[in-house]
Structure 1
Amino acid sequence: MDSTINMIKQIRSQLEEDSRMETHERVKRKREQSPEINNKRPHQKTERARERRRRKRERRRQRLLYEKKEEQRWKRPRSSDRDEAEEGESAWKRPHMDEERCDPLDISSYNFHHELGNGSFGNVMLASLPNRKKPVAIKILKKENIKLKERYETEVKVMKLAWKCPFLCNIHAAFQTQVQLSVILQ
């Protein structure tokens, strides 16, 4: 019984001493009491920290290389580079158009290939612009033949509303001259 009482007194005194100690002192004391358990952790932590730092350095290096490459890509030629260029050439490349741009809203800029059919409002022709490969259908209506103007306007409005529908012809443009009305379809 005396041994039990002594043990309780010893534990009580240790608890009182621990309560007076700072937290870091308690941790230090526990490490001293059992060094084989706690020695692994700091080593593992330092290895992980080293690996994180190494990966961070590598990412930074990769980012700097990328930024340097982009900077060189967009870098303008220096004045000395321009002086070294031959007289007839320019160090600066200027954009140029090989072909003339055609006005898609001018009926005379289209090349007509053949007639696709006669609709209730007029003729439908297969045509294409000179600088584009994809052909279009052009519905051409003579103004003097239009008796039902509202039906034609309704058709154009419906096509404009359904321009995203994959099952209907998409309308590219609608315009008119003094003699005729034209609707450019996909």
Structure 2
Amino acid sequence: MKIIDTLDVDRPINLKASKGIYGSRITISWTPMPLAQKYQLYKFNDATQKYVLLKELADTTFDDVTIAKSLTKNFYKVRTYNSTSSFSRFSDADFGYTSAFNYYKALSFGSEGTGPTQFNFNMHVEVDKNGNIYVSDDGLNRVLKFSATGSFIEQFYSGSSARAMAFFSNGNYIATRTQSSSYVQIFNPNK
């Protein structure tokens, strides 16, 4: 089969398929291309051993919810498709898979480092009754407190090898430490 390339539109780049992070779906995305009016997304069919048109769309993101079996690779590729006489070569292929768990990434915050919103070796995440998020950082000997939306509030606790936090219904909490001075501390709501 001869591959036709009209060369008047760029082929999509940076095709990415999610790998288990969305439970029962695979999200496929790519970089928008100049002059693209729409795209054709193809999925590899194991039975025919060919790529088959999955969706024609103007957007650069698509959620594939037609996954037959979790933890199996599903291959995709995309091309810019403006008309039968104006289309690009296919992008590089990528694969994705589902985990079969019904969860999704709701929030992401922080980065690697030593600043107030950064982590060196985070060990434990806890949430209090108000939805605040606490992240213990063993490498920086602290527990950082964030709002439910991931905004930094304060350095909540400091101690060598701060490993974990847990909250009681009465407002008290536990902080654990390890290394040279391993122990569990119980604090009231006022620390």
What's the TM-score, normalizing by structure 1? 0.20
1 or 2, which has the higher helix percentage?
1
When the two structures are superposed, what TM-score results if normalisation uses the length of structure 2? 0.19
Higher share in strand = 2
Higher relative contact order (CA 8 A, sep 6+): 2
